[in-house]
Amino acid sequence: MQTTTTTEQTSGPNVAQRRVFSGVQPTGDPQLGNYLGAFKGWVDRQDEKENFFCVVDMHAITVDHDPAELVRQTRELAAVLFACGINPEKSTLFVQSQVSAHAEACWILNCFTPLGWLERMTQFKDKSAGRGSVSTGLLDYPVLMAGDILLYSAHEVPVGDDQKQHVELARDIAQRFNNIFGDIFVVPEPVIQEVGARVMGLNDPVAKMSKSYSHIRGHAVRILDDPKEIQRSIMRAVTDSGNEIRFSNDPEKAGVNNLLEIYRVITGKSEGDVETDFTDARGYGDLKKRVAEAVIEELAPIRNRYNELIDDITELDRLLAVGADHARSISEPKLEEMKRAVGFALPDRTRSSTR
Ligand code: TYM
C-alpha cells in the first residue's frame, strides 16, 4: 500500500489522491447545459476523488454587472449546487473571492503568460466582439482560471466542451512555469463527458445553451424552472420539418438531436436504446412531451431542495465559510511555493526565531 505524508499530499506535484477542480460563474440563471455538461458529472463522481468546486464570482466581474445581483446570484448558485447533490462531507464548495490566493496566483501567472496566448482565446474574441471597450479582466480571465486549477494541484478539470480551450491554456501555463522554476504544478487534464458536453439552445439548436441568454424566452431550461415552464420551453423547441426521431450530425436535424441527447444524459441509456424508446412516438410532439417529462422528473427534486436551502442563508453562508477554510488550507501552501519559486523574500521558516 502506498503511504505518503500530509505535506507530500498537499504541496508539490506528488498529490496522493486524484484531485478534481471545477468552477462556475454566478452570472445569469444556471441552466440545463450547466447541469448536464458539468454539475451532474461532478455529483455522480464525487465519491471517487478529492473534489473542489468553486463559485467564481471574480470571473463574473470581468463584464458589466450589478453588485447586488452578484451577491444574490452567488448564494443562489451555491444553493443550486448543494441542491444538485454536492455533498459538503465529500466535496469542498466555496466562493472564489473568499480565498485571496486566487487573485495573488493570477498576478504571478500573468507575468509568465504571453499576451498572444490570451488574445487567441475564442471566448475572449466572442465576448469582446462588437464592444467598443472591454476590461483587462476579460482578457485575463483564463489566467485567473488557470490559477484556480493550479492552486489545488488538480489532475482533472471536468467541464463542458466550451471550456476545453481554457483548461488547455492552464496546462500550457503550468508547463511553462514548471520549465522555468521546476516541478511546482500538476499539469491538469480537461475531462469532458462524451454525452451532454454541449447542450444546444432550444430556440436555436446550432448555438450553445447559455446562462447569459437564459432570460430569453424559449432559449433554455433553467434548473429552477417550475414544471410548467420546463414543459412550455421544451414543447416550443425548434426542430425540423421531417418526422424522423434519430441521432444525427445533420445540422438540419440539430434540434431533434439536441432533445435526444438531453434525454440520453438524463436516462443514462445508449443511443440505440434511446432511439428504441421513441419508435412508437407519434411525431415530434410526442418526442418533446417525453423529453419534458424526463427533464421535469430530474429537476423537480433539485428545485425542492433548493427552496429549503435558500430559506436558511445563515446555514448556507456557514457551509461556504467551511468550504473556504478548507480551500485556503490547500491553496495557501501552493501560493507560498509559487512566491518562493519566483524569488519573493518571505520569512524563512527554517531559521530560528531567537534573533
Ligand atoms: P460557466 O459558468 O460558463 O459554466 C459552468 C460549466 O457548465 C458548462 N456548460 C455547458 N456544458 C454543456 N452544455 C452547455 N450548453 C453548457 N454551458 C455551460 C461549462 O463548460 C462549465 O463546465 N470559465 C468557467 C468557470 C471557471 C472554471 C474555473 C471552470 C472558472 N475557473 C476552473 C473549471 C476550472 C465558466 O465560465 O463556466
CATH number at residue 246: 1.10.240.10
Question: Is the residue at 261 inside a domain?
Answer: yes
**DSSP state letters, 229-286:** HHHHHHHT----SS---S----GGGHHHHHHHHHHHHHHT--HHHHHHHTTT--HHHH
Question: Is the residue at 150 inside a domain?
Answer: yes
Residue 341 pLDDT greater than 80, yes or no: yes
Residue 154 Cα: closest atom of ligand 1: 34
* Residues 112, 169 within the same domain: yes
* Residues 33, 150 within the same domain: yes
More confident residue, 16 or 265: 265
Question: Is the residue at 8 inside a domain?
Answer: no
**How many CB atoms lie under 10 A from the CB of residue 153?**
24
Can you give the CATH number for the domain in which 182 is found?
Answer: 3.40.50.620
* Residues 220, 336 within the same domain: no
In the structure, what pLDDT confidence band is assigned to residue 164 with cuts at 50, 70 and 90?
very high
Question: Is the residue at 265 inside a domain?
Answer: yes
Residue 218 belongs to domain spanning: 211-309
* Residues 57, 86 within the same domain: yes
More confident residue, 7 or 348: 348
Please count the structural domains in the chain: 2
Q: What pLDDT is attached to residue 318?
A: 98
Interatomic CA distance for residues 67 and 255, integer angstroms: 36
* Residues 283, 329 within the same domain: no
* Residues 189, 230 within the same domain: no
Question: Is the residue at 87 inside a domain?
Answer: yes
* Residues 261, 128 within the same domain: no
Summarised one tens digit per residue, pLDDT across range 283-319 is 999 999 999 999 999 999 999 999 999 999 999 999 9
* Residues 289, 322 within the same domain: no
Q: What is the mean pLDDT of residues 252-256?
A: 96
Which residue out of 52, 70, 148, 159 has the highest number of ligand 1 atoms within 8 Å of its CB and is therefore the one to mutate?
A: 159
Q: Roughly how many angstroms between the first and final C-alpha of the chain, as a whole number? A: 44
* Residues 161, 262 within the same domain: no
* Residues 50, 82 within the same domain: yes
In the structure, what pLDDT confidence band is assigned to residue 182 with cuts at 50, 70 and 90?
very high
* Residues 242, 285 within the same domain: yes
Q: Residue 199 has which C-alpha cell?
A: 447542450
Q: What is the mean pLDDT of residues 265-282?
A: 96
In the structure, what pLDDT confidence band is assigned to residue 217 with cuts at 50, 70 and 90?
confident
In the structure, what pLDDT confidence band is assigned to residue 352 with cuts at 50, 70 and 90?
low
**How many CB atoms lie under 10 A from the CB of residue 230?**
23
Q: Domain boundary residue among 269, 287, 309?
A: 309
Summarised one tens digit per residue, pLDDT across range 23-61 is 999 999 999 999 999 999 999 999 999 999 999 999 999
Which residue out of 29, 34, 203 has the highest number of ligand 1 atoms within 8 Å of its CB and is therefore the one to mutate?
A: 34
Query: Can you give the pTM of this predicted structure?
Result: 0.93
Question: Is the residue at 352 inside a domain?
Answer: no
Question: Is the residue at 206 inside a domain?
Answer: no
What residues pair up with 189 in beta bridges, in sequence order? 156
* Residues 36, 163 within the same domain: yes
In the structure, what pLDDT confidence band is assigned to residue 355 with cuts at 50, 70 and 90?
very low
Q: What pLDDT is attached to residue 9?
A: 35
Please report how the helices 136-151 and 164-181 are oriented relative to each other, as an axis angle in degrees rounded to 10: 70
Lowest mean pLDDT among 130-134, 155-159, 241-245, 281-285: 130-134
Q: In whole numbers, what is the pLDDT of the chain averaged over residues?
A: 93
CB contact set of 289 (below 8 Å; sequence gap of 6+): 235
In the structure, what pLDDT confidence band is assigned to residue 130 with cuts at 50, 70 and 90?
confident
User: Among residues 40, 49, 211, 288, which one is catalytic?
Assistant: 211
Residue 139 pLDDT greater than 60, yes or no: yes
Question: Is the residue at 175 inside a domain?
Answer: yes
Residue 159 Cα: closest atom of ligand 1: 22
Q: What is the mean pLDDT of residues 207-228?
A: 92
Q: What is the mean pLDDT of residues 222-230?
A: 97
